[in-house]
Amino acid sequence: MTMSRRQFVGGVAGAGIASIAAPNPVHGQAGEPIRIGLLAAKTGPLASGGIDMDLALTMFLKERENTLGGRKVELIVADTAGVPTTARTKAQELVEKNNVHCIIGPLAAFEALAIADYLTEKQMPTLGVAAAEDMTQRHPSPWFVRLTSTSAQCAYPLAEYSAKELKYKKIVTIADDFAYGHEMCAGFQRAFEDNGGKVIQKIFTPLATPDYGSYVAQVKSADAIFLGTAGSNGFRFLRQFIEYGLKDRMAVIGGMTALDESVLRNMGDEALGVLTTSWYSAELDNPLNKNFASAFRKQFKYDPGYYAASTYVSGEVLEAALKAVNGNVDDKKALMTAIRSSDAQTVRGLVKFDEFGNVIGNVYIRKVAKIDGRLVNSVIKTYPDVTQFWTYDKTAFLQNPVYSRDYPPAKNLEP
């Protein structure tokens, strides 16, 4: 869990030059670089996602010759290890020791919740990746925006699609036992049941589950099982699900990270046909994404997914904001206003924010297919301009509790 530094102030574009020099504690000097802090879980069960976050943001800066808003950029990467206390310690180091001008990340909902109050207190412009619902709902911060999705934001369209178009009546959900999994499954359950379906079983597993056999054995008969997993957990669960012969008896559908591109590269034909939902796919047909996905694939030999796109999009929005303020990162309020006023075209499509700082954007229903010998998340349906409140009344939504294991109540569970 060491702090790595990538110094982007040399004359060679893209050279990741390690630096042990302490950062200048005084902001605003004429030749001073813009310091960006990246919080990413590069070790632990979420490491595959955190590594992709680092790779994509590094690539973004390299493509721009390590310059944004007319100023050189220094990227400082902190490994949170997917641990809330570590995330808070690393955030404090980035702010107080490294004097960063803004932060991108962290990855996990529980990490973001652990540092939210601190970053607000320090008035630190933060471009969030984690999906923790309440950070842009009942407890928004003027210093925080989310460019990805709340935990439930992408689950709503899949829930509606499952009920209305796939005609599923009964679904089992299984998810990692932390905020992201709780909130995603809760949102899915709400929208699915509002469209006439029933969630008959909810299973939550420890984030670092070594063997899913005992959980697979518990799965009740249903039309489909919804995976609310992160990191490599979806891959490992699906493998055992298939070994038990269940994929022939019920469909598999999943949330944003269940079969992320970073997971698909380790899978075989067993993943074919699985439907998932996300705000991104490497197969999105727009010029910015075609360039990004092709370059990422060429450099790293696999497609970018949720995690890689999250930091690349963060870079695109930050770049637009820095242009708007002429690179003046010392006026933090002006920078944050420029970020929140974003109307940027990105690899995911147009990014704009609601009054709470959460992204409004397209959500895609995707199906695992094989193209040119590799597994991809092929887009089969687009839900445009999805908000964090879906079709629900915003005022009524915010008067209810935040989504959890127990809210909304599961009224259709089978014994």
Peptide bond into 157 cis (omega under 30): no
Q: Give burial (CB, 10 Å; 0-12/13-18/19+) of 167.
A: exposed
- 165 & 307 share domain: no
pLDDT-derived band at 405, boundaries 50, 70, 90: very high
Mean pLDDT, rounded, for 121-127: 98
Judged against a pLDDT cut of 90, whether residue 225 lies above it is answered with yes
Judged against a pLDDT cut of 80, whether residue 380 lies above it is answered with yes
Q: Could you tell me which residue, 46 or 254, shows the higher pLDDT?
A: 254
Residue 215 lies in a domain: yes
pLDDT of residue 15: 31
Judged against a pLDDT cut of 90, whether residue 231 lies above it is answered with no
Q: Report the C-alpha gap between 356 and 2 in whole angstroms.
A: 33
- 166 & 277 share domain: yes
Judged against a pLDDT cut of 90, whether residue 248 lies above it is answered with no
pLDDT-derived band at 406, boundaries 50, 70, 90: very high
Residue 2 lies in a domain: no
pLDDT of residue 244: 87
Residue 271 lies in a domain: yes
**Range with lowest mean pLDDT among 24-33, 124-133, 302-311:** 24-33
Whole domain around residue 385: which residue ranges? Answer: 155-284+362-399
Total residue count of the chain as it appears in this document: 415
pLDDT-derived band at 23, boundaries 50, 70, 90: very low
Proportion of the chain above pLDDT 90, given as a percent = 81
- 354 & 366 share domain: no
Residue 302 lies in a domain: yes
- 132 & 240 share domain: no
Residue 10 lies in a domain: no
pLDDT of residue 9: 35
Q: Report the C-alpha gap between 373 and 366 in whole angstroms.
A: 18
Q: Tally the domains of the chain.
A: 2
- 93 & 179 share domain: no
pLDDT tens, residue by residue, 250-299:
999 999 999 999 889 888 998 999 999 999 999 999 999 999 999 999 99
Proportion of the chain above pLDDT 70, given as a percent = 93
Mean pLDDT of the chain: 91
Residue 24 lies in a domain: no
pLDDT of residue 207: 84
- 47 & 94 share domain: yes
Residue 412 lies in a domain: no
Judged against a pLDDT cut of 80, whether residue 100 lies above it is answered with yes
Kindly give, in sequence order, each residue whose CB lies less than 8 Å from that of residue 154, ignoring residues fewer than 6 positions away: 255, 256, 277, 278, 279, 363, 386
- 112 & 214 share domain: no
Residue 307 lies in a domain: yes
CATH number assigned to the domain comprising residue 276:
3.40.50.2300
- Return the closest-CA partner of residue 264 out of 328, 307, 310: 307
Judged against a pLDDT cut of 80, whether residue 24 lies above it is answered with no
Residue 14 Cα distances to 284, 324, 346, angstroms: 26, 24, 21
3-state secondary structure of 10: coil
pLDDT of residue 4: 45
Judged against a pLDDT cut of 90, whether residue 331 lies above it is answered with yes
Residue 214 Cα distances to 116, 217, 239, angstroms: 36, 5, 13
- 169 & 258 share domain: yes
- 160 & 66 share domain: no
Q: Could you tell me which residue, 153 or 232, shows the higher pLDDT?
A: 153
Q: Could you tell me which residue, 266 or 356, shows the higher pLDDT?
A: 356
- 136 & 246 share domain: no
pLDDT of residue 28: 45
Are 391 and 190 in contact, with CB atoms under 8 Å apart? no
- 392 & 265 share domain: yes
